[in-house]
Chain A
Amino acid sequence: MTDLAEDTVLSVENLSIDFRLRTHILHAVENVSFELKRSQTLCLVGESGSGKSVTARSLLQIVDRPGSIVDGRILLRNAGAVTDIARLDPDGQAMRAIRGRRIGLIFQEPMSSLSPVHTIGSQITEAVRLHSDLDKRAARAKTVELLRQVEIPNPDQMADRYTFEFSGGMRQRAMIAMALAGNPDILIADEPTTALDVTTQAEILDLIKRLQVERGMAMLLITHDMGIVAEVADDVAVMRFGHIVERGPVDAIYHDAQHPYTRQLLTSTVKLTRHVESRVPAVALSSQPLRPILSVRNLGKTFGWHGKTNSLRAVDDANFDLYPGENLGIVGESGSGKTTLGRLILRTVEPTTGTVVYRNKDGSEVEVTSLTKKELRGFHREVRLVFQDPFASLNPRMTVKEVIGDPLIINGLAKGKALEERVAELMRLVGLDPMGMERYPHAFSGGQRQRIGIARALALDPRIIIADEATSALDVSIRSQILDLLLDIRQRLNLSFIFISHDISVVRYFCDRVAVMHRGKIVELGEAEQICTAPQEAYTKSLISAVPNPDPRDKRMLHRHRFVAPVL
């Protein structure tokens, strides 16, 4: 028992954090308690707004104003001595000595969490020197050593580079090196891999885990992804609305969850690891051979001068057919060309080579690549786009009625009372109350906004919807709701989807067939189930096996396939 107590390096007791806003006090965190133990990982799971990041920041006393700790204790133990962090002056010397030295912090956004105008090396060296009395040369040597430990190649040269010369994964490695500079015994990782591709995510999680074991650090990992939790956690605390609703060892949480919210989180996650049930693929419904609604042949886009060494083949010789009523998924990591492919089909980016053939309702074929600007408008009425960011894609100065009705007004299809009726109908279709028509987008949550975006796309009775990362910005429970909504609409309106995503589980759930893109090429195209369970190509194998599996008894990611891309 005494051993257990000694293993605890930090305990949070009844922590409450309030934000004093202009009109009211927001209780961001209420009565939260947990312990961090040496060499153990506690995962704090919750959806956006649950207060998990604020909790993490309060351990370092870097909660932004107007937030402040109003109650509770944060006890930091060190060789018998106990410090209550909650009682320390946030600007004081004692608190600063804990930051970086005892507790290291890694952030979500590797893009913006490092200064763009200082070299990577100088930022790490600064942290090294802050917590030791090494001179400049020794600190620099330590920096290079740290960069080597986080597996950055050529650490000596890379130390003099700037952040924008690093890829996302490399930046996160540098960030980890910086967090380790003061040899902390506690590491806080706040969504460390959310902004990264799935294979990079697997590598970074590997690295963090390895360093944690080597150094015997306690880790607090904050995430919304139940798959990651299953892969790395020893203990789990589930947060919702500022409270910890359930806490326990990872196995108990996954296989014997007590709280309904935990069960709901798990269900929506696990649901997405399978193909949607009780659905017959549209292609199989009809006996006669179906003709594709959209045929893409040899489509390509080269940025920069053709043939030159620095030209980039964003999309290279893409071929596929989209059948009526089919969901075709396009997956790939960032920079694989999947978004460009979507834009080439719409011709918002002009293709360099290839053709796109669209088959009208009456069966006549249209060559999209040779349409004039005016003819293209007709095509755009039938093929609509849903965007990724539900916050940026709606004009905040337009009411919901104006947003949804906009395509109708532009095309001169409805106005006045008819417009209002059509908007109300569309809102009901996507599960929104038409009463909210006169309100502005800021009054809606992320999921509701995405519904507004979908209603706007449906306004012109399209036949194809291209959804570009349409669910990426949403919490997992909302995500499955939106996907179910899309499936429902597809059946009712006989739509076809091109669903672009980096999230393999979403594609697996939603799509009938999947195209896997890598460096501009479609490397594999097949039935969704086959791609996800029995991939043929080496790249697809590595991609699929890097997806975290939401079952702590089957940590798939740790035994994943590694794919080394041939040097171009």
Chain B
Amino acid sequence: MLGYIFKRVLYMIPTLFGMSLISFLIIQLPPGDYLTSMIATMSDSGQAVDPAQIERLKEIYGFDDPFYIQYLKWIWGIVSRGDFGYSFEWNQPVSGLIWGRMGSTLVISLLSLLFVWIVALPIGIYSAVRRHSISDHVFTFFGFIGLAVPNFILALVLMYFAYRYLGQSVGGLNSPEFAEAPWSLAKVGDFLAHLWIPIIIIGASGTAALIRVLRANLTDELHKPYVITARAKGLPEYKVILKYPVRIALNPFVSAIGWVLPHLVSGVTITAIVLNLPTAGPLLFRALVSQDMYLAGSFILLLSALTLVGMLLSDLLLALLDPRIRFN
């Protein structure tokens, strides 16, 4: 088992390099760079641009270097001193910007994953066991609504209700009065009060999808002979269901770890913008628009690293859960 984990971690290294290279390449693909877009903005507003200064900036940022030199400089900085480069737009080192965003992204992903699990598991089991009952149809109905309605619309609706009927300040993860305050008990409470809206919204489609998957998987398993064996032993019905078929139908739950993070970053960026969440999505979006290449590249790199870790975790959990995977 340890050998397997070691091997998997070892395989991650070349994958990470490949990903960093590709992400860097993609960011470089659009014509021009941060300076050209800055010059354009400055000329638009009628400011004079000093060619000497531009030359100096180009030299500092290394824009004249060929692509691979820029990449190597960047990646060497990360590996040797944890320096992710400099954000032109924010005028500060990328590492100063990125960790807070990554932290909140991670917290929200994990919490929405938990939310998805807690809601989808009982409903999925219930729907499969009482298939075609009225409650199953009701859950199916809401499940399809959860799948079909775009997240940001759901976000707007929930924000409206929270503001109108609960009198809550909506958007972001903290009320304005706590935004700059140091962490305290009151701030944590305020944070939690803000958290439920994004978690429900981000979890909604995942929950709906997992309910459908679990229902389908479990329906297949429920009539397998080993379930009848368990019943013929004299086990109570709830134990029969939970110990045997549910255990086997559980695999997609574990695989969900792998996809929830990339989903949160790429899939729900619009939701994050609507909700004004301090997660990676909106910042990455802006960095891409303004060709703030080191910031964007670092985000993509870190997110792919986290995704890989998530995949590894889910694979390890799957192996733990299912001996058939473990032994092959």
Contact = CB atoms under 8 A, between A and B. Distances in A.
B324 A114 contact: no
A538 B247 CA distance: 46
Contact of B234 (A107, A112, A165, A182): A182
B167 interface: no
A237 interface: no
Given A91-B237, A113-B226, A164-B327, A100 B322 contact: no
A60 B232 contact: yes
B321 A97 contact: no
B225 A107 contact: yes
Contacts of B228: 57, 62, 105, 107, 113
Contacts of A175: 229
Contact of A117 (B232, B236, B322): B322
B226 A114 contact: yes
Given A64-B223, A162-B323, A164-B327, A114 B233 contact: no
B289 interface: no
B224 interface: yes
A98 interface: yes
Contact of B226 (A64, A101, A112): A112
A507 B110 CA distance: 62
B233 A99 contact: yes
A131 B234 CA distance: 8
Contacts of A64: 223
Contacts of B327: 162, 164-165
Given A115-B244, A162-B323, A164-B324, A130 B234 contact: yes
Interface string A59-101: 0101010000000000000000000000000010000111111
Using C-beta atoms within 8 Å of the partner chain, give the interface range for chain A. Answer: 20 to 34
Contact of B235 (A109, A113, A130, A162): A130
A153 interface: no
B137 interface: no
Interface in B164-223: 223
Interface string A272-287: 0000000000000000
A178 B231 CA distance: 12
A113 B229 contact: yes
Nearest to A130: B234
Contacts of B236: 91, 96
Contacts of A181: 233
B118 interface: no
A105 B234 contact: no
A139 to B, nearest CB: 13
A117 B323 contact: yes
Contact of B229 (A101, A107, A117, A162): A107
Contact of A126 (B231, B235, B324): B235
Contacts of B323: 116-117, 162, 164
B248 A116 contact: yes
A495 interface: no
Contacts of A116: 226, 248, 322-324
7 contacts: A62-B232, A96-B235, A97-B234, A114-B229, A178-B233, A181-B233, A182-B234
Given A99-B233, A104-B232, A164-B323, 10 more contacts: A62-B231, A96-B234, A105-B229, A107-B228, A109-B225, A112-B226, A116-B322, A117-B323, A175-B229, A182-B233
